[in-house]
């Protein structure tokens, strides 16, 4: 007997699987539309002859009527396609639309509310540890149940939403387990699939809605006049209503089957991320013991049911919870359990905690008085305990003065989309070690801009004077050379590897700017970068991160879909990318050409005719090249990123600056790359153990 496969899918294979799931969904959708067309045609031809509408009484019954079939086919396709595209287009603005539809309120990134601050801290830690931009977080204030969701097309426009019950009932470890589950959906490519499911079902639902409108209108008119025509229209409306809802029924079956499997994967990933099965298991158990369960009261909960952490429609507590020694089925689905978008609570918990006996603890939503009298120090103590736990589990030691990362590029791609306990501990300690004044400012919209400006200040005195003049001429009264220099002083007290996390931390605050403020901000960023008449690697990295994660929000641009199944049409873009990376990673032109040749060799199976670019194009050309390369399939991105790793590590080392550029390129390709951990070796794709060098304390 063959041994069972131990292969674990990496980030790119999971993304490719999600892409194949989307293709299967489209195939099912097309099959459903064909069946709907045939059903409407059969109903139409039967009603047409049955009620003898506008027909000769002597005309014999015929099943095949080409004109009627073409008319029904065209009308049905128009209705279904327009209905689907309308919904998908409405959701294309990102996860924020979904959050607001569900009644969410954007949590201010500088909030002083202890519970909201705890939630944002957990989200920030997860984002930095996974290499994704820090998402905006929404609170469903009217929902007393325990639930959460992640929504968006890509990590760039993703949002996290949680209910009031999640915020007020769960401990920090349980909250971390829930957020880790949602980050798994972000990393596994589930969000785009979920939104397309909403669009597909809406297109089919429109058929039923048209039938309902016909029925309503015909009943009114038929009360005033009788005739075969009115009866036929009434019957046809009823047929459309039935056919539409039958189509929706089978569409929901597909949605539920896809969703249930993704939920199991997200649960397992959350345990892997946190190494704390009690966290997510505890959250699921509290759902079972809470009277509100995981039910979402918002009327759009049914449409969005597959987005949630737990079943948002049927999740409710059993009436037998007050009875002792009972093991009630808390997640009370209907008899058609195959329609459920989530597996039963008991099954999910037992996969995480095999010792679970089915008994749920009694959980009550805290009273208003209890919430008002809750000591904020309790939440602070919880955060301190988490930091202590991270310090205990994280590798210790001091970071090297000039960080160098030994690298085997062929194994580098195992890190993408991979969030580990070590990365989470590293992110927690890094954030805890930042000066408190700096973290407070980076979360304020006005001062977050100043932090970005401070990151761009040059060490050259002449260039810095020119930058100070630009800052003092700014239209914003809060921006000046003095405030920027003060922020720069705080940044200088942080380790170099804190620069990218600071940019990520600023993103939620920067998203709250007005359009005019954002335009002034990006204009000043560009002027500060060009103050010395050149752009270095870090400046390009910073600008590209800002453009990639803020432009879609302010300019309402739609995310690009995979278009290229081959690298052949993109030879110039790949040549430009590898040439730029080779020069960035090597000191001399000869060494750079050798690094380029190694990168080309990594892509040898693609039969590409890549050429070394003697004249270096600007960073703007590189940015445009990355935009096109982002439209290749996930498995091609893996090969491309391996070639990039070869270029920057031709000397077997990667400096911090090169690592930042590599992570920016990965980010541009929608491939989140966790931070390199000091002491991490990629020769075996290992995460550092307790003897590796990760700073556990950053001097203030």
Encode pLDDT of 414-425 as tens digits.
667 667 788 888
Residue 40 is assigned to a structural domain of this protein: yes
Same domain flag for 581 and 452: no
Same domain flag for 209 and 257: yes
Looking at 523, 554, 585, which one is the last position of a domain? 554
Assign 3-state DSSP to the chain and report helix, strand, coil percentages, each to 5: 60, 5, 35
Is it the case that residue 210 has pLDDT exceeding 60? yes
Q: Which of these is catalytic: 124, 143, 174, 182?
A: 182
Residue 682 is assigned to a structural domain of this protein: no
Looking at 264, 298, 325, which one is the last position of a domain? 264
Q: What is the pLDDT of residues 212-221, one digit of tens each?
A: 787 776 655 5
Same domain flag for 543 and 660: no
Residue 105 is assigned to a structural domain of this protein: no
Same domain flag for 535 and 569: no
Same domain flag for 549 and 573: no
Q: Residue 447: which domain range?
A: 431-554
Report the length, in residues, of the chain.
Answer: 700
Residue 636 and residue 564 in contact, taking contact as beta carbons nearer than 8 Å: yes
For position 22, what pLDDT does the model report? Answer: 65
For position 200, what pLDDT does the model report? Answer: 77
Rounded CA-CA distance 654/668 in Å is 19
Rounded CA-CA distance 223/234 in Å is 12
Let me know if 182 is a catalytic residue: yes
Residue 693 and residue 399 in contact, taking contact as beta carbons nearer than 8 Å: yes
Same domain flag for 467 and 534: yes
111-117 CB contacts, 8 Å cutoff, 24+ apart:
114/376, 114/379, 114/380, 115/167, 115/168, 115/379, 116/167, 117/379
Close Cβ partners of 509 (under 8 Å, ≥ 6 residues apart): 109, 110, 442, 443, 444, 445, 448
Same domain flag for 492 and 640: no
Six token digits for residue 47: 């009603």
Is it the case that residue 528 has pLDDT exceeding 80? yes
Q: What is the pLDDT of residues 222-249, one digit of tens each?
A: 554 555 567 777 888 888 888 887 877 7
Same domain flag for 481 and 607: no
Residue 618 is assigned to a structural domain of this protein: yes
Residue 614 is assigned to a structural domain of this protein: yes
For position 14, what pLDDT does the model report? Answer: 64
Q: Tokens 């304390």 appear where?
A: 697
Same domain flag for 444 and 539: yes
Same domain flag for 488 and 583: no
Residue 89 is assigned to a structural domain of this protein: yes
Residue 273 and residue 352 in contact, taking contact as beta carbons nearer than 8 Å: no
The total of structural domains in the chain comes to: 3
Is it the case that residue 433 has pLDDT exceeding 50? yes
Same domain flag for 575 and 659: yes
CB neighbourhood size of 557 (10 A): 12
Residue 212 is assigned to a structural domain of this protein: yes
Residue 186 is assigned to a structural domain of this protein: no
Same domain flag for 205 and 240: yes
User: What's the N-to-C CA distance of the chain in angstroms?
Assistant: 60
Tell me the range of 461-475, 550-564, 612-626 where mean pLDDT is highest: 461-475
pTM of this prediction? 0.80
């Amino acid at each position: 007997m063959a041994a069972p496969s131990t292969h674990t899918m990496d980030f790119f294979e999971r993304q490719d699987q999600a892409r194949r799931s989307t293709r299967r969904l489209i195939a099912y959708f097309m099959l459903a539309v064909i069946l709907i067309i045939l059903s409407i045609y059969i109903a139409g031809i039967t009603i047409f002859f049955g009620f003898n509408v506008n027909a000769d009484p002597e005309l014999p019954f015929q099943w095949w009527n080409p004109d009627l079939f073409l008319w029904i086919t065209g009308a049905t396709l128009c209705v279904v396609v327009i209905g689907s595209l309308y919904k998908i287009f409405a959701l294309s603005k990102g996860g924020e639309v979904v959050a607001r539809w569900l009644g969410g309120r954007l949590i201010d990134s500088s909030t002083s509310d202890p519970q909201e601050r705890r939630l944002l801290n957990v989200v920030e830690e997860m984002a930095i540890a996974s290499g994704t931009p820090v998402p905006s977080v929404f609170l469903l204030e009217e929902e007393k149940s325990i639930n959460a969701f992640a929504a968006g097309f890509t990590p760039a426009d993703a949002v996290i939403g949680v209910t009031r019950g999640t915020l007020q009932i769960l401990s920090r470890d349980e909250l971390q387990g829930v957020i880790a589950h949602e980050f798994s959906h972000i990393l596994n490519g589930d969000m785009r699939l979920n939104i397309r499911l909403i669009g597909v079902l809406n297109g089919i639902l429109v058929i039923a809605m048209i039938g309902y409108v016909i029925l309503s209108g015909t009943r009114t008119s038929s009360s005033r006049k009788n005739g075969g025509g009115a009866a036929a229209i009434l019957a046809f409306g009823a047929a459309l209503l039935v056919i539409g809802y039958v189509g929706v029924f089978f569409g929901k079956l597909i949605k539920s089957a896809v969703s249930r499997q993704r939920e199991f994967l997200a649960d397992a990933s959350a345990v892997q991320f946190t190494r704390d099965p009690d966290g997510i298991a505890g959250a699921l158990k509290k759902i079972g013991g809470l009277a509100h369960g995981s039910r979402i009261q918002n009327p759009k909960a049914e449409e969005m049911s597959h987005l949630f952490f737990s079943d948002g429609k049927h999740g409710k507590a059993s009436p037998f919870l007050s009875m002792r020694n009972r093991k009630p089925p808390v997640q009370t689905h209907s008899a058609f359990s195959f329609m459920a978008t989530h597996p039963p609570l008991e099954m999910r918990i037992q996969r995480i905690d095999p010792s679970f006996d089915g008994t749920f603890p009694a959980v009550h939503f805290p009273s208003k008085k209890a919430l008002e009298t809750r000591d904020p120090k309790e939440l602070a103590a919880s955060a301190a305990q988490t930091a202590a736990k991270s310090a205990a589990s994280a590798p210790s030691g001091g970071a090297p003065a000039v960080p160098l990362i030994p690298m085997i590029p062929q194994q580098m791609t195992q890190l993408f989309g991979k969030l580990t306990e070590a990365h989470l501990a590293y992110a927690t300690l890094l954030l805890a070690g930042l000066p408190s004044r700096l973290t407070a400012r980076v979360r304020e919209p006005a001062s977050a801009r100043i932090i970005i400006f401070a990151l761009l200040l040059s060490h050259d005195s002449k260039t810095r004077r020119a930058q100070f003049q630009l800052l003092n001429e700014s239209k914003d009264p809060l921006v000046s050379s003095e405030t920027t220099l003060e922020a720069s002083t705080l940044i200088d007290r942080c380790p170099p590897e804190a620069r990218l996390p600071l940019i990520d931390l600023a993103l939620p605050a920067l998203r709250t700017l007005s359009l005019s403020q954002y335009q002034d901000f990006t204009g000043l960023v560009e002027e500060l970068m060009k103050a010395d008449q050149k752009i270095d690697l870090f400046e390009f990295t910073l600008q590209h991160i800002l453009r990639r994660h803020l432009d879609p929000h302010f300019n309402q641009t739609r995310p690009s879909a995979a278009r290229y199944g081959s690298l052949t049409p993109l030879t110039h873009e790949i040549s430009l990318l590898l040439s730029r990376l080779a020069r960035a990673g090597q000191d001399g032109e000869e060494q750079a050409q050798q690094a380029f040749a190694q990168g080309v060799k990594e892509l040898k199976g693609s039969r590409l005719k890549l050429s070394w670019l003697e004249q270096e194009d600007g960073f703007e050309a590189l940015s445009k090249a990355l935009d096109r390369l982002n439209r290749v399939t996930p498995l091609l991105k893996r090969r491309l990123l391996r070639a990039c790793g070869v270029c920057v590590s031709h000397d077997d080392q990667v400096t911090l600056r090169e690592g930042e550029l590599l992570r920016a390129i990965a980010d541009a390709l929608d491939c989140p790359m966790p931070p390199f951990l000091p002491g991490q070796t990629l020769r075996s794709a290992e995460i550092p153990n307790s003897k590796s060098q990760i700073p556990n304390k950053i001097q203030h």
